[in-house]
Chains A and B, each alone.
Chain A
Amino acid sequence: MTGDRTSPGAVMARKNEIMKRAVGIDYDRYARGPLAFDYERMMEEVGYGLEEIRRIQEANAVGHTPLIELKNITEVVRRTAHRGKGARIFLKDEAANPSGSFKARRASVSIYHAQAGGYKGVIAATSGNYGAAVASMAAMRRLAAIIVQEVYDSRRVGQPEIIEKGRACEAYGAEVLQLSVGPELFYVFLLLLEETGYFNASLYTPFSIVGIETLGVEIVEDLADREGRQPDMVVITHAGGGNVTGTARGLRAAGCPGAVVVGASVDLAGLHMASDADFNRKSFTTGHTGFGVPFATWPDRSDVPRNAARPLRYLDRYVTVTQGEVFYVTEALAQLEGLERGPAGNTSLTAAIALARDLDEDQVVVVQETEYTGAGKHPTAQLTLARENGVEVRRGDPRENVPGKRIVIPERPEQIQARQVDLDRLRRSYLRNAIEASGVRRVDPIEVAFLMEETRAPREFVQAALVDLGVSGPD
């Protein structure tokens, strides 16, 4: 990969041109100014209708996963709650999808679209469950698949969870390219797109997001069938923002605007995502704040010009939990409910246990995903790696947890907490990023309206933040 045309600078300069061909979306169509773009129009024109998505997914055995009431865990919650408190907890068992996670929903529409567009293959840059989902859907639709992963640190110590996902991709017939730590993975990804002419099965296109809408719809339908009611709260593991965005859009589409939408991430504050030294000091490779915060505050950092996953538009609350709390809850799910599932997917369940404690007994909390488990993707694998990398692992008070240094596994269920993230702080951070990226010094009413939608904030909030950023606005 030498020579001028393939140097990082030259390839990055061709980014928009490469992406246009690899995604087939002309994002410029939706621009409404230097800042604003028509998000809903992009979702409507490029996406597929709900019924069509259901047909596509049913053809690939995606969706219609079981909704399971966690009766024993609910009882644990009630025994740690005040009298009359402790909502019923239901779990959408997304591990039952082909490839073992909700990511099958995301991949299904992308791969369908790639096939319909005549692409011979698909490429995805992902170290997560999405790779296996793309590989599995590509196998069903007879397309070639390449998955590019960040796997090893400079000692060539691999993250066990990512190695396992690479193995799964290979099991479905995909070519897997493993890289060492670094955001320049994107450069390799662009080169591959250009060289192969394959479709970019990005996590962040409208195809990927509308695929998740069925998950929100199924939650509403399943609960209506079973219990004749709507969920009071839906807790969603939040990383890149697609899970929150797609699920919340599905809840709205199914006529359930009332459920409180909560995003939950594992707290990895202080660990740098591009650091070779920090890479194997984290025990979670997704569902954590290292993605959750930057993608909420600047979604367009993704591999497409306009990210269809825009979580601040949908989040009512955002909470964090610790690594040790999630491992504790993963153990509880196996031992009390007989469901052995992967730890990262249990991030939302961990938050739900804390949140259900404050809701009434007759209320319902839905945890919207699980993921498969296996070698590498398991608390014992992750904690073994943690110890080998000098991270302390012990029982105790989760408040003593320090990401990358100490994992504290709770001693009692009442120690599990959902720590509130200040959404207004994230909103201001989003506004700063939007202003910096666009370079605008003055905004018109269209842009103010757009920023209000983007942040789900009132006009006064947006205008005050813009004034602080030295941006002059409409009078």
Chain B
Amino acid sequence: MEAVVKRGSWVQIHRVILPPGQRAPQVPEETQRVPLELWAKGFLDHDARLGDEVTIRTIIGREMTGCLLAVNPRYEHDFGSPIPELLTIGPELREFLAGRRPR
């Protein structure tokens, strides 16, 4: 059983804005088939468990409701992996400038 998430925790909520079938007519088929979803963060209004319908107060103080998805969600984006195809561009260009290529 999930642990209780304490009131006042910084959390992320999720909700479906438009289910499949209610998407805008102009969107392509693969988008029609999936819901329009929303994620928001804020301070939890009351003790709850993951998956509960909860109310949060966002950083600017607005109240929002949704399904409790995560506690203190981490930023997971990064610089990715080194790209071998990019690594040699600098040395190549420096060599190009050093060379006495006829113009």
Number of chain B residues whose Cβ lies closer than 8 Å to a Cβ of chain A:
44
Q: Is the CB of B75 within 8 A of A182?
A: no
Residues of B within 8 A of A375 (CB): 75, 77-79
Does any Cβ of B come within 8 Å of A246's Cβ? no
On whether A275 and B28 interact (CB within 8 A), knowing A76-B96, A160-B80, the answer reads: yes
Residues of A within 8 A of B30 (CB): 275-277
- Which single residue of chain B is at the shortest CB-CB distance from A181? B31
Residues of B within 8 A of A145 (CB): 60
CA distance A78 to B26 in the complex (A): 48
Number of chain A residues whose Cβ lies closer than 8 Å to a Cβ of chain B:
64
Does any Cβ of A come within 8 Å of B93's Cβ? yes
Pick from B17, B77, B96: contact of A79, CB below 8 A.
Answer: B96
On whether A332 and B40 interact (CB within 8 A), knowing A167-B75, A183-B24, the answer reads: no
Does any Cβ of B come within 8 Å of A381's Cβ? yes
Q: Please provide the chain A residues from 142 to 171 with a CB less than 8 Å away from any CB of chain B in the complex.
A: 144-146, 151-152, 154, 158, 160, 163-164, 167, 170
Q: Is the CB of A8 within 8 A of B97?
A: no
Q: Is the CB of B90 within 8 A of A382?
A: no
Residues of A within 8 A of B34 (CB): 154, 180, 276
How far apart are A41's CB and chain B's nearest CB, in angstroms? Answer: 33
Residue from A188, A196, A331, A375 having most chain B Cβ neighbours under 10 A: A331
Residues of A within 8 A of B33 (CB): 276
Does any Cβ of B come within 8 Å of A318's Cβ? no
Contact indicator per residue, chain B 25-42, by CB within 8 Å of chain A (1) or not (0): 011101101111111111
Residues of A within 8 A of B97 (CB): 72, 75-76, 79, 336
Q: Is the CB of B79 within 8 A of A182?
A: no
Does any Cβ of B come within 8 Å of A335's Cβ? yes
Q: Please provide the chain B residues from 4 to 31 with a CB less than 8 Å away from any CB of chain A in the complex.
A: 17-18, 22-24, 26-28, 30-31
CA distance A413 to B92 in the complex (A): 10
Q: Is the CB of A83 within 8 A of B103?
A: yes
How far apart are A152's CB and chain B's nearest CB, in angstroms? Answer: 7
- Which single residue of chain B is at the shortest CB-CB distance from A272? B28
Contact indicator per residue, chain B 87-102, by CB within 8 Å of chain A (1) or not (0): 0011001101100010
How far apart are A328's CB and chain B's nearest CB, in angstroms? Answer: 6
Residues of B within 8 A of A83 (CB): 103
Pick from B24, B35, B75, B78: contact of A8, CB below 8 A.
Answer: B24
Q: Please provide the chain A residues from 187 to 228 with a CB less than 8 Å away from any CB of chain B in the complex.
A: 187-188, 196
Pick from A76, A167, A176, A379: contact of B93, CB below 8 A.
Answer: A76
Contact indicator per residue, chain A 378-392, by CB within 8 Å of chain B (1) or not (0): 111111110000000
How many interface contacts (CB-CB < 8 Å) are there between A and B? 161
Residues of A within 8 A of B81 (CB): 380, 384
Does any Cβ of B come within 8 Å of A426's Cβ? no
- Classify the interface of chain A: helix, strand, loop or mixed: mixed
Q: Is the CB of B80 within 8 A of A384?
A: yes
Does any Cβ of B come within 8 Å of A449's Cβ? no
Does any Cβ of A come within 8 Å of B3's Cβ? no
Residues of B within 8 A of A66 (CB): none
Pick from A79, A146, A382, A393: contact of B85, CB below 8 A.
Answer: A393
Does any Cβ of B come within 8 Å of A465's Cβ? no
On whether A380 and B83 interact (CB within 8 A), knowing A180-B35, A375-B77, the answer reads: yes
How far apart are A315's CB and chain B's nearest CB, in angstroms? Answer: 27
Does any Cβ of B come within 8 Å of A327's Cβ? yes
Q: Please provide the chain B residues from 30 to 79 with a CB less than 8 Å away from any CB of chain A in the complex.
A: 30-31, 33-42, 58-62, 75-79
- Which single residue of chain B is at the shortest CB-CB distance from A331? B89
Q: Is the CB of A173 within 8 A of B59?
A: yes
- Which single residue of chain B is at the shortest CB-CB distance from A120? B60
On whether A334 and B90 interact (CB within 8 A), knowing A175-B60, A182-B23, A275-B30, the answer reads: yes
On whether A413 and B40 interact (CB within 8 A), knowing A182-B23, A332-B89, the answer reads: no
How far apart are B97's CB and chain A's nearest CB, in angstroms? Answer: 6
Does any Cβ of B come within 8 Å of A184's Cβ? yes
Q: Is the CB of A379 within 8 A of B83?
A: yes
Q: Please provide the chain A residues from 362 to 405 with a CB less than 8 Å away from any CB of chain B in the complex.
A: 375-376, 378-385, 393-395
Q: Is the CB of A332 within 8 A of B93?
A: yes
Does any Cβ of A come within 8 Å of B1's Cβ? no
How far apart are A139's CB and chain B's nearest CB, in angstroms? Answer: 11
Q: Is the CB of A336 within 8 A of B77?
A: no
Sample of 9 more A-B contacts, CB < 8 Å, known A152-B39, A328-B89:
A163-B76, A167-B75, A173-B59, A177-B39, A178-B40, A180-B38, A183-B27, A412-B96, A413-B96
15 contacts between A and B (CB under 8 A): A8-B22, A144-B61, A158-B77, A163-B77, A175-B60, A177-B39, A180-B37, A274-B31, A276-B28, A336-B90, A375-B77, A376-B79, A379-B86, A380-B79, A383-B83
| B contact residues vs A (CB 8 Å cutoff) | 17-18, 22-24, 26-28, 30-31, 33-42, 58-62, 75-83, 85-86, 89-90, 93-94, 96-97, 101, 103
8 closest cross-chain pairs (CB), A and B: A384-B80, A335-B90, A154-B34, A376-B77, A381-B80, A144-B60, A331-B89, A175-B58
